[in-house]
Amino acid sequence: GQNGGDSMEALILVVVFGLAWGSFLNVVIHRVPRRMSLLRPPSSCPSCGARIKPHENIPVLSYLILRGKCRRCRAPISLRYPAVEALTPVLLAVLYVRAGGFTLSFFASALFTSGLIALAFIDARHQILPDALTFPGIVLGFVYAFFRDDLTPGGALLGAAAGGGFLLLVYGFYRLIRKREGLGFGDVTFMLMIGAFLGWEKTLLTLILASFAGAVFGLLLMKLQGRDMKFALPFGSFLAPAAYVALVWGDRIIAAYLARFPQ
């Protein structure tokens, strides 16, 4: 009845906002690695500098109408733009359904997920994880821990120590053995952010999922493109989706594992 209609309207609101928010995240993804202001100048074509008018900036739809090209210079527009605009509302809608409404859990998880999206695409393109995004994410995790029932501030600290500490050990061990860096410090700070928000168990799950996905992807690249073992994979681009899976389905995955392999 009425409640069902209200919740559907709220879900539609989340999706519409998610489309617009995805458009903003594209600005973050493009400008933060280049140390540009998020507010100025207004959106413009990276190729010819032409200003993008409001009707050309409708999430997903404008890309389809323009057929993926700038109206002025016909330079191709990256597929990343509609991908982020389409992905964001889907991920936020899942969080809304999981939270059962506009709860503190929803808003905190939505901010955390926004950080994951931006960092995943930035790392894929530039192989960096900017402190301008990971540090506020770490603060979010610790502050939110004071207001939630499922994770204490001590649990957030333990999660951050587990995630960041493990990658720090890997970083040091790899450098000792191979005499070069295997991971960047950005991966360590990213894991501090993930650990502070998820706690140690889901952080461990994130590392397992990301490592497995990265290994499979790396082996496929080696087979299909003839890459050798020395090429660098943007690990943050695997950590981000793994952290989202752990956030939404982590409890279920861990419970299923413990049921299958009781301690």
CB-based contacts of 118: which residues, under 8 Å, 6+ apart?
A: 25, 28, 29, 32, 133
Place of tokens 């600290």: 157
Q: Across the strands, what pairs with 44?
A: 51
Smallest CA-to-CA distance from 121 within 35, 213, 25 is with: 25
Burial 211-226 (b: 16+ CB within 10 A, else e): eebbeeebeeeeeeee
Place of tokens 């990343």: 80
Task: Classify 175 in phi/psi space as left (phi over 0), alpha (psi -120 to 50) or beta.
Answer: alpha
The tens digit of pLDDT for each residue in 155-195 reads: 999 999 999 988 888 777 767 776 666 567 888 999 999 99
Provide DSSP, 153-168: HHHHHHHHHHHHHHHH
Residuewise pLDDT in 10s, the chain (263 residues): 456 567 889 999 999 999 999 999 999 999 999 999 988 878 887 778 778 888 778 899 988 988 888 888 888 889 999 999 999 999 999 999 999 999 999 999 999 999 999 999 999 999 999 999 999 999 999 999 999 999 999 999 999 999 998 888 877 776 777 666 656 788 899 999 999 999 999 999 999 999 999 889 888 888 887 666 555 678 899 999 999 999 999 999 999 998 988 86
**Rounded-to-integer distance, Cα 11 and Cα 102, Å:** 10
**Rounded-to-integer distance, Cα 37 and Cα 195, Å:** 29
